Structure 1
Amino acid sequence: MIDFLYQIDLKLFYFINGTLSNPFFDKIFPFLTNLNNWFLVYLIFFLYLIIHGKKLDRITIFATIVMITVSDQLSSHLLKNLFERIRPCNVLENVNLLVTCTESYSFPSSHAVNNFAAAVLFSKIYPKFKIWFFTIATLIAFSRPYVGVHYPSDVIGGAFIGSLIGVIFARLVLMINNCSGTKEKFITKRYKKIE
């Protein structure tokens, strides 16, 4: 059964990495997969929420920083070392490698974990923009097998793990926001009674 699933994973990898390969994708996906290219987008988004946002927005920013730290440590240091899956670019032949192939392990894809965690969290807080959040997360996840550094199952597993983390943190954000709101209402009512 495991061998059967691996063969499917392998065929999907070569389909994404080889069959779908074209000059346009060869330019766009190495750009999308490089998280340094997203830094300015995240910075502008966070600064906007800090300056123009409300209490919920600021709680979300703080929670996002904590969440990405947790999700990245979980995927990069705990799960990768637990599963010890070697990257396809280090073991397979005829890989269309478009970025540097590192020696770190492959499962799960930290790109997928972190971006789907963020997509789920932001979608719960800002549901009007959920299509954009999930589109970005999906494109970044898809870029990983396309550039040759992950199997499809690495990003599928990463997306699942990241989504679970995102749900947990979204619930925490809403709970903290609701609790602090209740406290503020209680203080206001008490103050009015004293007056």
Structure 2
Amino acid sequence: MIISKSRLYETDIHLFHLVNKHHKWMMPMHVITHLGSAPMTVLSLFFLLFSSKGTVFMTTWAAMISLITSHMIVRLMKHYLPRFRPYLTVNESNVISNPLKDHSFPSGHTTAIFSLCTPFMLLFPSYAIFLLLLAIIVGVSRISLGLHYPSDVLIGALLGFITGAICMITIRLILGV
């Protein structure tokens, strides 16, 4: 089954409106979205680097490498695959008061939170559901605030998850853990 590019775009717009139309979400989402920001993810990892040891320390390094790697990939994708943010192109979109000016694809916040959470989901399976929900909520916040299309968030989540998993597996293989 082949799906046309226009059909994918229509689906993206429809899903965007489903999430973005709820104005009441904007205030809590405005806070939640910062969990995927560069300052929050980097500070969280530095805190863990200086306060942990053993497997948590090793996992923190995997998350740090994943965050750096995925950020470089996001920057390249935003440069070579430019896409205007939905608040600039979609009628009747709700957006926060100080919107971003760079490109939309993929979502950097979503990529960051998934690249940080994935190694810890692999280390602590009992916390995987909580960490996955946290990462998903950050992604949904990006749509809710009018800053990303659902496909930006989906690709960001996949990129962060894959990068996090590869970094965690690689570090475990190198260290023989």
Match of 2:115 in 1: 117
Q: Quickly say closer, same or farther: Cα 1:142–1:112, change in 2 above 3 A.
A: same
Q: What letter corresponds to residue 67 of structure 2 in structure 1? A: I
Paired with 1:106 and 1:40, the residues of 2 have a C-alpha distance of: 19
For structure 2, which runs of at least 5 residues remain unmatched after alignment? none
Paired with 1:123 and 1:42, the residues of 2 have a C-alpha distance of: 19
Match of 1:31 in 2: 31
Match of 1:193 in 2: none
Query: What are the superposed Cα offsets for residues 139-171 of structure 1, whole Å, 9 maximum, x if unpaired?
Result: 000001100010001101111111110110110
How far has the Cα of 1:59 moved from its partner? Answer: 1.9
Among 153, 156, 161, the residue aligned to 1:158 = 156
Paired with 1:71 and 1:176, the residues of 2 have a C-alpha distance of: 20
Q: Given the alignment of the two structures, is residue 85 of structure 1 paired with residue 79 of structure 2, yes or no?
A: no
How far has the Cα of 1:37 moved from its partner? Answer: 10
- Compute the RMSD of aligned alpha carbons: 2.4
Q: Is the partner of 2:106 in helix, strand or coil?
A: coil
Q: Quickly say closer, same or farther: Cα 1:108–1:119, change in 2 above 3 A.
A: same
Q: Quickly say closer, same or farther: Cα 1:176–1:38, change in 2 above 3 A.
A: same
Q: What letter corresponds to residue 164 of structure 1 in structure 2? A: I
The structure whose RCO (Cα within 8 Å, separation 6+) is larger is 2
Match of 1:186 in 2: none
How many corresponding residue pairs? 173
Paired with 1:84 and 1:40, the residues of 2 have a C-alpha distance of: 24
CA contact (8 A) 2:38 2:112 kept: no
Q: Quickly say closer, same or farther: Cα 1:99–1:32, change in 2 above 3 A.
A: farther
Q: What letter corresponds to residue 32 of structure 1 in structure 2? A: I
How far has the Cα of 1:3 moved from its partner? Answer: 0.5
Paired with 1:71 and 1:2, the residues of 2 have a C-alpha distance of: 26
Match of 1:15 in 2: 18
Q: Quickly say closer, same or farther: Cα 1:37–1:59, change in 2 above 3 A.
A: closer
Q: Quickly say closer, same or farther: Cα 1:84–1:49, change in 2 above 3 A.
A: closer
Paired with 1:166 and 1:41, the residues of 2 have a C-alpha distance of: 15
Q: Return the structure number with greater helix share.
A: 1
CA contact (8 A) 1:72 1:110 kept: yes
For structure 1, which runs of at least 5 residues remain unmatched after alignment? 180-195
Normalised TM-score (structure 1)? 0.79
Q: Is the partner of 2:176 in helix, strand or coil?
A: helix
Q: What letter corresponds to residue 8 of structure 2 in structure 1? A: L
Q: What letter corresponds to residue 12 of structure 2 in structure 1? A: D
Q: Quickly say closer, same or farther: Cα 1:29–1:86, change in 2 above 3 A.
A: same
Q: Quickly say closer, same or farther: Cα 1:162–1:96, change in 2 above 3 A.
A: same
CA contact (8 A) 1:87 1:149 kept: yes
Paired with 1:115 and 1:130, the residues of 2 have a C-alpha distance of: 13
Q: Quickly say closer, same or farther: Cα 1:91–1:48, change in 2 above 3 A.
A: closer
Give me the identity figure in percent. 27
